[in-house]
Chains A and B, each alone.
Chain A
Amino acid sequence: MTIPMQFGIFTVGDVTPDPTTGRVPTEHERIKAMTAIALKAEEVGLDVFATGEHHNPPFVPSSPTTMLGWIAARTEHLILSTATTLITTNDPVKIAEDYAMLQHLSDGRVDLVMGRGNTGPVYPWFGKDIRQGIPLAVENYALLHELWRKDVVDWQGRFRTPLQSFTATPRPLDGVPPFVWHGSIRSPEIAEQAAYYGDGFFANNIFWPKEHYQQLIGLYRQRYAHYGHGTPEQAIVGLGGQVFMRANSQDAVREFRPYFDNAPVYGHGPSMEDFMAETPLTVGSPQQVIERTLAFRDYYGDYQRQLFLMDHAGLPLKTVLEQLDLLGEQVVPVLRKEFAIGRPADVPDAPTHAGLVARRDAQQPAAATSEN
């Protein structure tokens, strides 16, 4: 079964002192908090949990499939995703293997967001050249794409040992690879890459004003149609977002301000009010979050996935779990209902394994003649 839109959360996995107490969680506490948050996401009826991948402190999630496998074993419906998988510095062969394994263990509840990371030295640490960031993303993904679709691969590229007669195992579940989104904060090349393959495009929608993401998503939609995957409106778009809620909006503002003011990414810069005006951040009541989120559709068109950043900047686990209750009980049900209104019938549902299998089966006769 598929649904028009998926809602969920994505996490960076930062270990950040709680600015109100000065307390720093241990890595163990943070890792356990992330998994508790994922289980809570399923409990409150969300659809997706996505974890970042980082290879330097203060971040803990260096091994996404280990974490997602653990979560998969304890959930039934939650789609497990990444935000993002480093397509530049990971070996595409290992990505193909790890995520196919996760796909089997989770019975198809896995997809990936490809990205290039936010830390320059990760490239040299993994033996790569940061000046080749885009070419690495292009070549590595081309290989990954092939490994998941061809049983036996002969391949040669610029960045990796050639492969002769190589088969990535396990083969994807039901012969259908995990859905892939491509995430980018800046680069039009990545929007172009997503469009070329007919993959999804995920805009983090946190750090920059909406006009910036409008340009990237507009480019992606236009190129998606150019490559013959459908109309621009049928391209698969995911968005991030960042909210903090309390029943009373003034309480939300008061409680979140110290976390905002000291946040690793934007802290000690603009005021929270200025940042809310300039970016999609919403701090307020559930109703304000609903209104702000519904407006995303006006800027970016009908889309398939909405993820919220909820557990960052040192917010304690208890607070995050309360946020998830509000999100699951008061916000997402309304968003599901409201987003369905006026959504054209030919806008695709959010991607799932079942949906991809059904689409493959529908195209099977045609595909059988066109492949080789």
Chain B
Amino acid sequence: MTTAAPVNLAVISAGLSQPSSTRLLADRLAEAVRQNLAGRDREAVTRVVELRELAHPIADNLVTGFPPSALREAVDTVTGADAVIAVTPVFSASYSGLFKSFLDVIDNTALTGMPVLIAATGGTARHSLVLDHALRPVFSYLRTVVVPTGVYAATEDWGTGGTPGESSLPGRIARAAGELADLVDGRPARDHAAAPAPVDTFLPFEQQLAALRPQP
């Protein structure tokens, strides 16, 4: 079998504290996906987008309508990936405002068809449905393909047994990572060269005019 191109894995981590359990979960997920792909002879290149460092550029983009260069690179990393792992802390019963603001500055068609693994962290397990009530709908709107298993890590999960089982954190991480790897491995690498820049996607003028002519 020919060697397939490496899988570009973009990891969005919206944790605000340093160190952050959100980043901890993001790294665990990225490593699990990498290992799973390695088992299929697929190499993965992981790039982490730390939203904390982009807090100002994201706010600037909301105000001015364009991304400062640091943010542009981060957006390109995400939109140009073959798969995305998106991890947010739970704030006030939902994803964090910074996490949503980052999604808000990405063109709403730029992630179409993207395999996505959603994950969230919180103080207690009582907010775990945030994954399915908040994150999943947003990524559905963005027309991404979200794997069935979302991973929620409450504080207590970091102290529970490491034996891989269905209900443990390591078990959920392994299952979600396997689902994402299945998605990525089953499809050709995203053809980014074929995705036209917005400026090239216009109708020739005759067609714009013709579409308006009254039907006889």
A residues with a Cβ closer than 8 A to B are 134-135, 138-139, 142, 156-158, 187-189, 191-193, 195-196, 207-209, 212, 215-216, 219, 265-270, 274-275, 278
Contact = CB atoms under 8 A, between A and B. Distances in A.
Contacts of A208: 65-66
Given A191-B202, A270-B60, 18 more contacts: A135-B208, A135-B211, A139-B212, A188-B202, A189-B203, A189-B208, A192-B205, A207-B65, A207-B66, A208-B65, A208-B66, A219-B200, A219-B202, A269-B60, A270-B63, A270-B68, A278-B68, A278-B69
B128 to A, nearest CB: 36
B39 interface: no
A214 to B, nearest CB: 10
Nearest to B63: A269
Which 3 A-B pairs have CB atoms at the shortest separation, nearest pair first?
Answer: A269-B63, A196-B205, A188-B202
Contacts of B197: 215
Contacts of B64: 207, 265-266, 269-270, 275
Interface residues of B, number: 25
B194 to A, nearest CB: 18
A156 B199 contact: no
A138 B207 CA distance: 11
Nearest to B197: A215
Contact of A192 (B60, B68, B208, B213): B208
Contacts of A278: 66, 68-69
A207 B65 CA distance: 8
Contacts of A266: 63-64
Contacts of A193: 205, 208
Nearest to B56: A270
Contacts of A142: 209, 212
B214 interface: yes
Interface in B78-114: none
B186 interface: no
21 contacts: A135-B208, A138-B208, A138-B209, A142-B212, A157-B213, A187-B202, A188-B198, A188-B201, A191-B202, A192-B202, A192-B205, A195-B205, A207-B64, A208-B66, A215-B199, A219-B200, A266-B63, A266-B64, A267-B63, A270-B60, A274-B60
Nearest to B198: A188
B144 to A, nearest CB: 24
B59 interface: yes
A158 B63 CA distance: 36
A194 to B, nearest CB: 10
B68 A188 contact: no
A151 B199 CA distance: 37
Given A188-B202, A189-B202, A268 B63 contact: yes
Which residue, B198, B205, B209, has most C-beta atoms of chain A within 10 A? B205
Interface in B38-72: 59-60, 62-66, 68-69
B204 interface: yes
A274 B205 CA distance: 38
A215 B202 CA distance: 13
